[in-house]
Amino acid sequence: GAVVSQHPSWVICKSGTSVKIECRSLDFQATTMFWYRQFPKQSLMLMATSNEGSKATYEQGVEKDKFLINHASLTLSTLTVTSAHPEDSSFYICSARPGGDYGYTFGSGTRLTVV
Amino acid sequence: AQSVTQLGSHVSVSEGALVLLRCNYSSSVPPYLFWYVQYPNQGLQLLLKYTSAATLVKGINGFEAEFKKSETSFHLTKPSAHMSDAAEYFCAVSSSGSARQLTFGSGTQLTVLP
C-alpha cells in the first residue's frame, strides 16, 4: 500500500534554531502534500498545502515565514520551523493522496519540543 | 465550506460491548467521508472511507460505518470492543476542490474497560 515516511519522529531543539521535517512518499508520486499541526488532546489543524514545483498555500493565521515549506520533487516535501520558540512545540503530521480512491495516507508524525 | 462534528469527546465501553462513535457532517456537495484512528504519538491510520458507493462501509479491525444522507451522519460502530481499540478516533470530510484537503472533527477518545 501507499506509504508516507516522515522524519524525524521526534526532535528537541533550542529556542532560536531551525528544524527541518521531511515527508516522503515511498511508493507513489505526490504532487500535493498536506502539513498538519496537532496540539495535545486536540484535532489536526491544516497548516498548509504543499505543491510540487510551486509555492505552498498557507491557511489563514499560519506564518509562512516561520513555517517554510518546500516541495522540490514528486516524492519529498519539507517543513522548516524557523527561529523556533517554545510555543512552536507541537506534533506535526504530513499527508498525501496516492490517488485513485480518494484516500489519504499520513506520516507517523514528528514531535517537536523547543526548549 | 465543509465541517464535521463529533459528539462526545470521550467514550467509555466495556470490553466486548458495542462501540458507537458519532459523526455528523455539513457539506454543500456530496461528501467523501473518512474515519481515522490515532494511537499516542503516531500518525493517523485509515479505518474506512465512504466515496459515494455503498452506504454501509466496512473497514479494518471489525469497524463499519453507515452513510445516512437524510441525517447527515456517518457513525462508526464495532459490535464487540477489544482492549486494543482504545485510541483517538477522528471523522473527516474532504473538500470538493481539486486538492481535496481533509477537514477533521475534534476527535473522540475511546476507552475500553476490562
Rounded to an integer, the average pLDDT of A76-95 is 96
Q: What is the pLDDT of residue A102?
A: 58
A5: left (phi over 0), alpha (psi -120 to 50) or beta: beta
Tell me the per-residue pLDDT of A96-105, one tens digit each, with 9 for 90 and over: 988 766 578 9
Tell me the per-residue pLDDT of B8-67, one tens digit each, with 9 for 90 and over: 999 999 999 999 999 999 987 778 899 999 998 888 999 999 887 788 999 999 999 999
Q: Answer with the residue of higher pLDDT: A1 or B10.
A: B10
**B51 at interface of A, judged by CB pairs closer than 8 A:** yes
Which of A11, A43, A52 is best to mutate for the B interface (most B CBs within 10 A)? A43
Q: What is the pLDDT of residue B100?
A: 67
Q: What is the pLDDT of residue B95?
A: 67
Q: Which residues contact A100 (CB under 8 A, 6 or more apart)?
A: none
Question: How confident is residue A12, by pLDDT bands cut at 50, 70 and 90?
Answer: very high
Q: Answer with the residue of higher pLDDT: B52 or A42.
A: A42
Q: How far is CA A115 from CA A12, A17, A41, A66, A84, in A?
A: 7, 10, 21, 17, 9
Q: Answer with the residue of higher pLDDT: B6 or B98.
A: B6
pLDDT of B73 over the 80 cut: yes
Q: Answer with the residue of higher pLDDT: B4 or B95.
A: B4
Q: Which residues of B touch A35 (CB under 8 A)?
A: none
| Residue among A50, A30, A20, A26 nearest A112 (CA) | A20
Closest residue to A107, CB basis, from B32, B41, B43: B43
Q: Residues B9, B13, B16, CA angle at the centre, nearest 5°?
A: 145
Rounded to an integer, the average pLDDT of A66-94 is 95
| Residue among A78, A76, A86 nearest A112 (CA) | A86
Q: How far is CA B42 from CA A38, B10, B54, in A?
A: 11, 19, 30
C-alpha distance from B43 to closest chain A C-alpha (Å):
4
Q: Which residues of B touch A103 (CB under 8 A)?
A: 34, 46, 49
Q: Which residues of A touch B100 (CB under 8 A)?
A: 97, 102
B78 phi/psi in degrees, rounded to 5: -150, 130
Q: Answer with the residue of higher pLDDT: B102 or A10.
A: A10
Q: Do A43 and B102 touch (CB under 8 A)?
A: no
Q: How far is CA A19 from CA A37, A56, B4, B110, in A?
A: 15, 18, 32, 33
| Residue among A95, A93, A79, A76 nearest A29 (CA) | A76
Q: What is the pLDDT of residue A1?
A: 72
Rounded to an integer, the average pLDDT of A84-96 is 95
Task: Show the cell assigned to B57.
Answer: 462501509
Closest residue to B43, CB basis, from A10, A41, A109: A109
Q: How far is CA B84 from CA A48, B87, B90, B113, in A?
A: 33, 8, 16, 11
Q: What is the pLDDT of residue B91?
A: 95
